[in-house]
Structure 1
Amino acid sequence: MKIFLSVLLLLTISFASEALEVFGKVYGNNQLPLENVVVSSEKKAAISNAKGYFNLQNIEANEKIRFHKIGFKDTVFVAKQLPRKVILEEKSIEIAGINIVGKRENRGIFSSINKMVIPVSETENMAENAADILKNNANLNLKGINLSGEKQTISLNGNLTRHTIVMLDGIPLNSSGGEFDISTIPAEIIERIEVIQGGGSFVGSGAIGGVVNIVTKETAINREYQKNIDFSVTHSAGSFGYSRTNFSFKVTKTNLRISTFISSAFARNNFKYKYTLSDSVEWKERENNQKLSGDFNLRINHQNKYLNWKYNLLFRNFHKGLPGPINSLNMNDKARLDGKTARNFLELSKKIKSVFLNSDFYFFNETTRFENTESSLP
């Protein structure tokens, strides 16, 4: 019995002698202590402090001790061979590349549940301007006189016309609280019209009623061009001395497109009416109603390996006669309103690897003059 107890005691002492206390300090290549290094064995782990010190207890002599820290190579030692000073070698971190893919919308309004798109068919030759395209839509309310040269505005959701923001290719044409005459945009340059009821949430407080975005033709700058030359001339006439002539010319090459549109419209708009004074009735003619307008649109699209650019000029010159009240025609028999508007748009874009950069510049100039010095006074 005594011999058995002695053997058991010797085995216990021999087993206990294999447990080690592992400690030391961790340094980097620059010989500075490393903090927050994870020091781990198969069953235990510790983290080095601000001075790089670590300590693990009850570690078997043949256990592997691993040192891990982001930015350094993992290092492994056997516990019984672990030095008191451990130096970790720095390791660069490789991050997988990130591809940024940009998709440029064709200058339409942001997607919306309430968006209504009105395409302009090339066969609709009767439309003279944007107002003519919209006037047959039951959901829209146009304000003004439906005659050539007369001002026409649009109202949405029963709001005032000054609560509708009108855009051309996503750029506002009227300031917040101001009206815009949509009859000044020729139908020939329009590809489609987008209408959003109540668009103030993303446009601003001026769009309480909604937004009307007029998208012009050939706004996409990355189309595949084909070489050709197109031109057309049209003329139309109607009642009240109405006459309109349109000329369009387009040159297309591999990386260049030039489009020109010129239009001239005139309407005399004079009419006869019965004028009653006391017991006499006579026919008179209401004069000085003439409306004359000229439109010029130039669009240039060019793309090459360095830069893509697009320029759009929309110019209008107009003359409007302003007749006075029926009972005092002489006071305004030669009154008129003359003016011109020039809207310039420049778009620059550049693709750098997977990143698409785009910048838009625009400049508007409008002048209007009222003249009544030549009228016959009573």
Structure 2
Amino acid sequence: MSHQTLLRYNLTSRDHRNIPKRQTSESMLPSIVGLRSVSLRQKKINLQLSVINLRFLVFCFLFTILLTSLHSLEISGKIVNDQNLPLENVIITTESKTAISNRSGFFDLDQVRENEKIKIHKIGFEELEFFADKIPQKIILKKKAIEISGMEVVEERFKQVLTETSNKIVIKVEKKSENNAADILKETPGIYIQGVDLPGERKTVSLLGHKSKHTLILLDGIPLNPSGQDFDLSTIPAEIIDNIEIIKNNAQFGSGSMAGIININTKKSDGRFSLKTGQKIGSFGLSKTYANLSISNRYFYSYLYAAHNSTNNDFLFNNQSGLENNLKNNDKSVQDLDFSIGLNSFPMEIEYGFDIQKFFRKYLSPENITIYDNSKLEGSTNRHKIHLKKEFSKINLISNLFYFKDRSSYDNTESSWFQILNHHFRNSRGIDTKVSFKKEIITFDLGTSYKYEDFASENETNPNANIEKKYRENYAGSGNVKFTKDFFPFTSDLILSSRIEKHNNFGNFMTYRFDTDTKFDTFITLIIGGSFGTGFTVPSFYDLYWNDGQAHGNEDLKSESSNGGQVFGKLEWLKNSLKISLHSNTVKNLIHWTRQTDYWRPENIETVNISNFEMDSNFNFFKHFNLGISYLKTIAKNKTKGGDFYNKFLPFIPQYNFQAILKYEIKNFSIKIMHTKTGKQYTTPDQLSEELVMPEYELTNIDFVYDFPYKNLIFGISGAVNNFFDEDYELYKYMPQPGRNWQVCFEVKYGI
């Protein structure tokens, strides 16, 4: 065995630590050369092994990713509440990811394993949990009360009465400086408010160019209009309103809903405990003091509101001839008391409420017209309501009972022309009951209703004009079926409604309506839909029986009937929207008051057509800024063939309405600028004289709201300047509107 071989053997078979530490350099040299050769060869082998190991690890890593991608999911969906309204800021979590639903209720998650659990969470709602491969594309969260340190937390009470459709408008009343329901509605596209734009003045609403009496006003689902008449929206204070629902065109709610229905839902509570008081002052002697108290817990909720409002409303104006007139003797005062209480601890929900209002109004009397000098109307309204609701597993039972009592007296005994002292009495009572069944894709409603109404008039100055007590009653049955089909990202709705109504004076009426729409619902939403229906309106007591020196009723009047529909398309993206609608309605036997030789008398117009083009848009291009633009073009013509006024425009209907609202809002402050332009109106059925045409006019209103919270208190100040540029205009001949006017409100709220 050679020396090198022996050395290699010793190095590999014996512990190198046994080699003597002290060796001569000559004796170590062969060993070092041998070690270097072994070391280089070993490094080469180790390097080759490292490359192989690295390639293997990369292969395993890529193979793992491939397997993971084959078994991972991309999940997207929409979260709504049990009323099918989208829920924002819902938290969606997995073991490693979190997402939050946007304003439209949408969310998405990627690279989620099939067997991974996903939790859906939002305070005030039941928490849900799904496996990733089993999660539905549309998730419905149900309300659930929870307790935190003795406090009950639940989703905000947001009551709605009308059937949910894509074409329904819902106005949520929050920070508002308005005085009454009419002031809130005037910002809504397609709505025209008629009446002097001052607190205390009578205001009615026209939908899509129809007469005011063709829009049925509801309060918590109960009709307010006297049969065949319009309703004064200025009598509903803004402070008691929670939200307003609007459905246009032949809504199925009985007489008076040919143009649509507006349902005003009142506040039921304003927190666990809150006390609010406010003082409003303004032009023309305006003074309004109000207060409300709200209590809510798991057993009951209650809301109390009281207010006193007074103003003189005297102002100067320039008529169309450029002459300055004085609107005088126009004092107004109103006192309101509203109360509601609901019980939650009973086997069913029970709610009782009453509204009491006393009013005093002097009527408009321009300086050169003395016929109404010091004329006044005073009286009271008393409304009582009971609401019952019982929820079963999939069936809801709702019943409303009501009793209304109205008294008023008109006094014109100081007039130098003729004297009238007249007393009016109206009572109404009724009940409506609805059973609702909901299961998966179908919702089915069946309802019955009964209403009794009587009217009488006593004329002290002319007993021959007395109207003895007249009454009418009607019975109705209704049905409503809604089909909803989701095939994500599409949702289709079909609603079929019908109503049969029997009036003791006018016979039987059967009406129907169908709505349909399809929604493409992702991060951009496109909705296309339409509706068609029929409606009717019976003549009012005044239309039939009124009899004094200026007006005579007509007992031969026929009931009005209508048929028509609408088509619409709506695009929504982020917080922006654009909607285009076309409406058309044909009215038969339209009741219209016309001037005879020396008095006014109502007559039936055989055929009338009302068509509209409507555009409504809303843009949020910049943070804190919102711009809303709407336009309504109305063509309302007499289509009675062979008549004297065939193809003539109907009087007192603006040919167009344009509205632009710019709003800036940040934290507790908001300011709003509203500019409107109203088209010309004809005042006579023949349109022979341009001098009798009411010209178009433009108005600009500005209002602001600022809240300052401090501990449990919120101090608020709001104000408005109406007719900012002091425009001179009239709605009717000798019916002037006020110039620039202002109001400011100071408010304090304590709440826990």
Q: Is the 8 A contact 2:298 2:344 kept in 1?
A: no
- Note the 1:137-156 alignment, pairs <5 A: 137-156=188-207
Cα distance change on mapping 1:111 and 1:199 into 2, 3 Å:
farther
Could you state the TM-score of these two structures normalised by the residue count of structure 1? 0.62
Shift of 1:302: 1.3
Shift of 1:107: 4.1
In structure 2, the residue corresponding to 1:132 is in which secondary structure?
helix
Residue number in structure 2 paired with 1:207: 257
Residue number in structure 1 paired with 2:339: 298
Deviations 1:34-85 (A, max 9, x none): xxxxxxxxxxxxxxxxxxxxxxxxxxxxxxxxxxxxxxxxxxxxxxxxxxxx
- Distance in 1 (alpha carbons) for counterparts of 2:255 and 2:325: 48
Residue number in structure 1 paired with 2:267: 217
Output the amino acid matched with 1:139.
Answer: G
Residue number in structure 2 paired with 1:117: 170
- Distance in 2 (alpha carbons) for counterparts of 1:273 and 1:106: 43
Could you state the TM-score of these two structures normalised by the residue count of structure 2? 0.32
Cα distance change on mapping 1:323 and 1:174 into 2, 3 Å:
closer
Output the amino acid matched with 2:173.
Answer: V
Q: Is the 8 A contact 2:326 2:367 kept in 1?
A: no
Residue number in structure 2 paired with 1:188: 239
- Distance in 2 (alpha carbons) for counterparts of 1:165 and 1:186: 18
- Distance in 1 (alpha carbons) for counterparts of 2:159 and 2:372: 47
Q: Is the 8 A contact 1:153 1:182 kept in 2?
A: yes
Shift of 1:290: 0.8
Residue number in structure 2 paired with 1:241: 285
2:310 to 250, 266, 274: 266
- Distance in 2 (alpha carbons) for counterparts of 1:109 and 1:314: 22
Output the amino acid matched with 2:164.
Answer: S
Residue number in structure 2 paired with 1:198: 249
Output the amino acid matched with 1:344.
Answer: H
Query: Which structure 2 segments of 5+ residues have no match?
Result: 1-142, 144-157, 419-752
Higher Cα Rg, which structure: 1
- Distance in 2 (alpha carbons) for counterparts of 1:259 and 1:311: 11
Cα distance change on mapping 1:230 and 1:159 into 2, 3 Å:
same
Deviations 1:291-343 (A, max 9, x none): 111111101111324443101111211110124453354x6443210011111
Residue number in structure 1 paired with 2:407: 367
- Distance in 2 (alpha carbons) for counterparts of 1:347 and 1:205: 22
Residue number in structure 2 paired with 1:316: 357
The question of 1:343 aligning with 2:383 is answered yes
- Distance in 1 (alpha carbons) for counterparts of 2:205 and 2:357: 20
Higher relative contact order (CA closer than 8 Å, sequence separation 6+): 1
Output the amino acid matched with 1:149.
Answer: G
Residue number in structure 2 paired with 1:250: 294
Cα distance change on mapping 1:179 and 1:354 into 2, 3 Å:
closer
The question of 1:162 aligning with 2:162 is answered no
Deviations 1:90-129 (A, max 9, x none): xxxxxxxxxxxxx9x94421123321111111x21x1111
- When the two chains are superposed, the root-mean-square deviation of aligned CA atoms in Å is 3.1
Residue number in structure 1 paired with 2:374: 334
- Distance in 2 (alpha carbons) for counterparts of 1:164 and 1:356: 28
The question of 1:229 aligning with 2:273 is answered yes
Between structures 1 and 2, the one with greater strand share:
2
Q: Is the 8 A contact 1:258 1:301 kept in 2?
A: yes
In structure 1, the residue corresponding to 2:194 is in which secondary structure?
strand
Deviations 1:177-234 (A, max 9, x none): 310111111111111111111033x223521111111111228xxxxx98x4321110
Query: Which structure 1 segments of 5+ residues have no match?
Result: 1-102, 220-224, 276-281
Moved more, 178-187 or 318-327: 318-327
* Number of aligned residue pairs: 260
Deviations 1:127-183 (A, max 9, x none): 111111111223211111111111111111221111111111111111453101111
Q: Is the 8 A contact 1:165 1:176 kept in 2?
A: no
Output the amino acid matched with 1:370.
Answer: Y
- Distance in 2 (alpha carbons) for counterparts of 1:237 and 1:195: 31
Cα distance change on mapping 1:272 and 1:299 into 2, 3 Å:
same
Cα distance change on mapping 1:350 and 1:248 into 2, 3 Å:
same
Output the amino acid matched with 2:189.
Answer: A
Shift of 1:258: 2.1
In structure 2, the residue corresponding to 1:370 is in which secondary structure?
strand
Shift of 1:257: 1.9
Output the amino acid matched with 1:138.
Answer: P
Residue number in structure 2 paired with 1:172: 223
